[in-house]
Structure 1
């Protein structure tokens, strides 16, 4: 799948001017509330007709202002999951799902039973929306959108109205959706924990413009993105495989960085997942550390040093086949003599390596 978006639109007190490309997997539009994210996906859906621009999905124009061409929403083959589920309250879950299938424009092999199993909603089929939790409603809304057999799925802050427990319940289903279907997703969020766990591509939107776009792992470990992502959120997102569960409660992960020891993860051996190492949780040493409690010590090479405002310095590290980011003080950077090409040791506590949630 390929999606190309280039559009401009004037609101009363706001100018939207964005351009980006999206491919297979989940592309996250990330930014603060009011930055223009929802306006972008509304334009892709056909709910907003931009003043100027062109939107191309799988080689087909959805709009081209230069040609005066604009395809109405019902002809675009796009599914949309809103922040609130928008289920029909008078219909059962089964009937809500089948409503999506009635509007399917494609004849591929997405089956009712497969969607029900994928989202774990079989026990809910005879209930009405009023008897569902917030997370259950969102799963049904996703199922309804999937059964319309969309070429692209749009999700606008689908977890924003849920509490932490409901979010943790639905995130695994979104991962299954990403991994088990071939439907690309454009996902709007201002929660970096969601984006880090789900997305493969990150598009950062600020004040109606795209400030950065590219692979998620590259953006998260780039010091230059810190101001846009926030110092608390910046850091590496690493793919990992659970290699073992130890008797003392630790799990061993095989990653491109090398072996990481983390607090026990409730998943089976061989499972693939993502882990997140925040920049503020990485310490640096010029020599192999001795007699310390941290279990993760990785050989690394400084690839970039960037000073910010205040006491912080962000240090990008090359580690094996991947990258880390460390956040240290100016004083520490000066004491260690941190410069590009310097070999160092990155020290990470096991409890500091977290799975995004």
Structure 2
């Protein structure tokens, strides 16, 4: 199932003009605050009637301005996951979950209650009330309630923004499971690079109300011309496979024919991973460094150089089948005599890749 979205809407001082496809998996709306992400989510949920456009999936049309079609929110079969769980405080977890199922159409295919409870690991919570749940537990229950409504589309509007880092790390694996298990699209709003790299199947980049780039997440993230959050937040996503677990707490992976060493990852050999590498953590050398503490020294070629408006620059490096980004200074570009096609070495400290930047990609 895939959703096709075309929207035009004008506010005072802001115009949204967006067109994109949301296929199965997680389509991430990515951009700065005020770029139009939440406006799109509200239009899909039926909370905003756009001036023009169309939202449809195969023969299911939720909005068509030209044809005068505008389904109200309760007819759209959209599951909405908010920043806070928004659970009913007077109901138990079990009752909150069944409230979602109560809204499912009688003829809609239904997710099995036990399957959802097991997928989200909330069986021990069923008899509790929301006041006795942590922030992460509340979000897992909110996800289950949305799924049990038999939606055609899941909307997740910055669902981790209200959580601290520990709770985010708790929830991310459950979104990975949803991405890999569900047949329906998930439209996920974020401006956090780690969430994008770990979760996104498709990336839609927004800037000032317009889509400036869309496509497979790894491809879009490695583009040095697409940095909506600024060069300081640039980074790529690599697909890798665990090849060894070493006794000293280091995990060895292979990414695009290139070996990498990471802090220990608690998955078995053979597991496929998604790894985010931030541009600010990649150094460039024109000769292979010797006697340094960095464990990853990768032969690479400069694929592209982009000079910033200030003292900074962004270099795209090809290492094996991978594209990396390195955030450096204009002075370094000059001192190293960097140019496209030059052979260099990309240097990356293993400890610069935090556990939160490494996700399970089994099933994607």
Which bracket does the TM-score occupy, shorter chain normalised? over 0.9
1:239 matched to 2:239? The reply is: yes
1:76: which partner in 2? 76
Q: 1:70 to 1:321 in 2, by over 3 A?
A: same
Partners of 2:19 and 2:201 lie apart in 1 by: 18
1:103 matched to 2:111? The reply is: no
1:210: which partner in 2? 211
Q: Select between 45-54 and 205-214 the one with higher mean Cα deviation.
A: 205-214
Partners of 2:254 and 2:311 lie apart in 1 by: 34
Q: 1:23 to 1:197 in 2, by over 3 A?
A: same
1:64: which partner in 2? 64
Deviation at 1:257, TM superposition (A): 5.2
Partners of 2:309 and 2:12 lie apart in 1 by: 34
1:171-215 deviation per Cα after TM superposition (whole angstroms, max 9, x unaligned): 111111112222320001222222221112222222322232222
**3-state secondary structure, aligned to 1:135:** helix
2:152: which partner in 1? 151
1:286-332 deviation per Cα after TM superposition (whole angstroms, max 9, x unaligned): 33333322221222221111111222221111222221111222222
1:293: which partner in 2? 293
Paired residues in the alignment total 356
1:140: which partner in 2? 141
Paired residues of 1:307 and 1:313 also in contact (CA < 8 A): yes
Paired residues of 2:89 and 2:130 also in contact (CA < 8 A): yes
2:198: which partner in 1? 197
1:262: which partner in 2? 262
Paired residues of 1:242 and 1:268 also in contact (CA < 8 A): yes
Q: 1:257 to 1:335 in 2, by over 3 A?
A: farther
1:119: which partner in 2? 120
2:361: which partner in 1? none
Partners of 1:52 and 1:73 lie apart in 2 by: 18
**3-state secondary structure, aligned to 2:298:** strand
Deviation at 1:73, TM superposition (A): 2.1
1:46-86 deviation per Cα after TM superposition (whole angstroms, max 9, x unaligned): 12111111112235322111111222222222211112212
**3-state secondary structure, aligned to 1:269:** coil
2:176: which partner in 1? 175
**3-state secondary structure, aligned to 1:314:** strand
Q: 1:34 to 1:306 in 2, by over 3 A?
A: closer
**3-state secondary structure, aligned to 1:229:** coil
Partners of 1:225 and 1:339 lie apart in 2 by: 20
Paired residues of 1:315 and 1:326 also in contact (CA < 8 A): yes
2:347: which partner in 1? 347
Paired residues of 1:2 and 1:59 also in contact (CA < 8 A): no
1:221 matched to 2:222? The reply is: yes
2:89: which partner in 1? 89
Deviation at 1:225, TM superposition (A): 1.6
Partners of 2:301 and 2:242 lie apart in 1 by: 26
Q: Select between 204-213 and 34-43 the one with higher mean Cα deviation.
A: 204-213
Deviation at 1:155, TM superposition (A): 0.5
1:308: which partner in 2? 308
**3-state secondary structure, aligned to 1:66:** coil
Q: Which runs of 5+ in 1 are unaligned?
A: none
Partners of 1:7 and 1:276 lie apart in 2 by: 31
Partners of 1:279 and 1:10 lie apart in 2 by: 36
Partners of 2:262 and 2:200 lie apart in 1 by: 22
Deviation at 1:107, TM superposition (A): 4.1
Q: 1:257 to 1:282 in 2, by over 3 A?
A: farther
Deviation at 1:31, TM superposition (A): 2.1
Partners of 2:356 and 2:317 lie apart in 1 by: 21
Partners of 2:291 and 2:12 lie apart in 1 by: 62
Partners of 1:81 and 1:164 lie apart in 2 by: 19
**3-state secondary structure, aligned to 2:243:** strand
Partners of 2:281 and 2:13 lie apart in 1 by: 41
Deviation at 1:283, TM superposition (A): 1.9
What's the TM-score once normalised by structure 2's chain length? 0.92
What's the TM-score once normalised by structure 1's chain length? 0.94
Q: Which runs of 5+ in 2 are unaligned?
A: 358-364
